[in-house]
Amino acid sequence: MTAQLNPRGDVAVLVPAAGAGVRLGPGGPKALRLLGGEPLLVHAVRRVAEAPSVATIVVAAPAADVDHVRRLLAPVAPVTVVPGGADRQQSVAAALAAVPPGPQIVLVHDAARALTPATLVELVAARVRAGHDAVIPVLPVTDTIKEVSADDVVLGTVDRSVLRAVQTPQGFRRSVLVAAHAAALDPLTDDAGLVEKSGGTVTCVPGSELALKITRPFDLMLAEHLLSGGVRFDP
Ligand SMILES: Nc1ccn([C@@H]2O[C@H](COP(=O)(O)OP(=O)(O)OP(=O)(O)O)[C@@H](O)[C@H]2O)c(=O)n1
Ligand SMILES: C[C@](O)(CO)[C@H](O)COP(=O)(O)O
């Protein structure tokens, strides 16, 4: 039987958590690295579980850690844990295959975005519920962006007004996400990219600074400060 959160919810959230965390440096799989004394994955799942629309959470864990992750998350929320794949897309596909019948909205959320507020989960889900096939949270780009050659010579300055930095959770009508993954040829860095490739429309909503992706050591230090500094997570 699949673990259920809110039986009246219409949202399944997939949490790919099987990455190595190479850019964070040595210390084990990134989702299991500690932030404020708890694994990143625990933070991420706890916040997702606070979102009232969420009926089901499926985590893709490092294959060697599936049992450990089940035990870790048991006191946090009812979750289904499956082994992840060789890249993020394969981990998402494995989690998607484990979603039980029922939820018609599927969100895909990085464990690495551990401080993402439940309000962002609800916002993305609400936009899908309102009729959009694919919805992504985005932030404006604040640096000047240059295109450069392999030998570090500037080729030009990109018009940043049309650029957005993309976060998760990314939300989809379930059938749209299933079709996009079924049609996938090459691995892409996000699921919305698969929908774009299939000719679908992807809609943006405002993201959250708190949904930063913990990728490098500086990101982890920043997240520690945010957590210990008493930042309000659901403004
Ligand atoms: N084979 C993989 C690779 C990544 N992910 C997950 O996808 C999310 C976003 O990936 P990223 O932040 O790039 O994590 P890593 O792949 O672990 O990082 P790195 O590239 O530095 O190794 C993370 O929650 C990560 O655990 C996954 O489930 N399976
Ligand atoms: C899905 C994602 O977090 C959206 O920004 C991002 O594309 C993951 O990329 P990564 O290179 O696997 O960190």
Closest CA to 48 of 75, 20, 76: 76
Q: What is the ipTM of this complex?
A: 0.98
Looking at residue 235, its pLDDT comes to 45
**In angstroms, what is the span from residue 213 Cα to ligand 2's centroid?**
8
Neighbours of 207 (CB within 10 A): 24
Looking at residue 7, its pLDDT comes to 82
3-state secondary structure of 126: helix
> CA of 144: how far to CAs of 134, 163, 182, in Å?
28, 11, 37
Pocket flag, ligand 2, residue 24 (CB < 6 Å): no
Looking at residue 233, its pLDDT comes to 55
Look up residue 5 and give its two tokens.
Answer: 């959160």
Atom of ligand 1 nearest to the CA of 23: 21
Looking at residue 8, its pLDDT comes to 87
pLDDT range class, residue 5, cuts 50, 70, 90: confident
* Average pLDDT of the residues in 131-136: 98
**In angstroms, what is the span from residue 168 Cα to ligand 2's centroid?**
8
Q: Which residues pair with 203 in a beta bridge?
A: 135
Nearest CA to ligand 2 atom 9: 189
Looking only at Cα atoms, what is the longest distance across the chain?
57
pLDDT range class, residue 1, cuts 50, 70, 90: low
User: How far is the first Cα of the chain from the last one, in angstroms, to the nearest whole number?
Assistant: 35
**In angstroms, what is the span from residue 88 Cα to ligand 2's centroid?**
8
Looking up tokens 């029922």 gives: 102
Pocket flag, ligand 1, residue 12 (CB < 6 Å): no
Q: Quick: pLDDT tens for 72-127.
A: 999 999 999 999 999 999 999 999 999 999 999 999 999 999 999 999 999 999 99
Closest CA to 107 of 12, 10, 8, 194: 12
Look up residue 187 and give its two tokens.
Answer: 């691995």
Pocket flag, ligand 2, residue 168 (CB < 6 Å): yes
**In angstroms, what is the span from residue 214 Cα to ligand 2's centroid?**
10
* Average pLDDT of the residues in 203-217: 98
Q: What is the pTM of this model?
A: 0.96
Question: What's the whole-number average pLDDT of the chain?
Answer: 95
In order, the DSSP letters of 16-49 are E-----GGG-SSS-GGGSEETTEEHHHHHHHHHH
Asked whether residue 2 carries a pLDDT value surpassing 70, the answer given is no
More confident residue, 155 or 234: 155
Contact by Cβ (8 Å): 231, 210: yes
40-49 vs 118-129: helix crossing angle, rounded to 10: 50
Closest CA to 68 of 59, 11, 226: 59
Pocket flag, ligand 1, residue 169 (CB < 6 Å): no
Asked whether residue 229 carries a pLDDT value surpassing 90, the answer given is no
User: Looking at the domain covering 11-228, what would its CATH class be?
Assistant: alpha beta
Tell me how far apart the alpha carbons of residues 157 and 146 are, in angstroms, rounded to a whole number: 4
pLDDT range class, residue 65, cuts 50, 70, 90: very high
The share of the chain scoring above pLDDT 70, in percent, equals: 96
Pocket flag, ligand 1, residue 91 (CB < 6 Å): yes
Pocket flag, ligand 1, residue 28 (CB < 6 Å): no
- Helix, strand and coil content of the chain, in percent to the nearest 5, comes to 35, 20, 45
Segments making up each domain of the chain, as ranges: 11-228
Eight-state DSSP code of residue 130: T
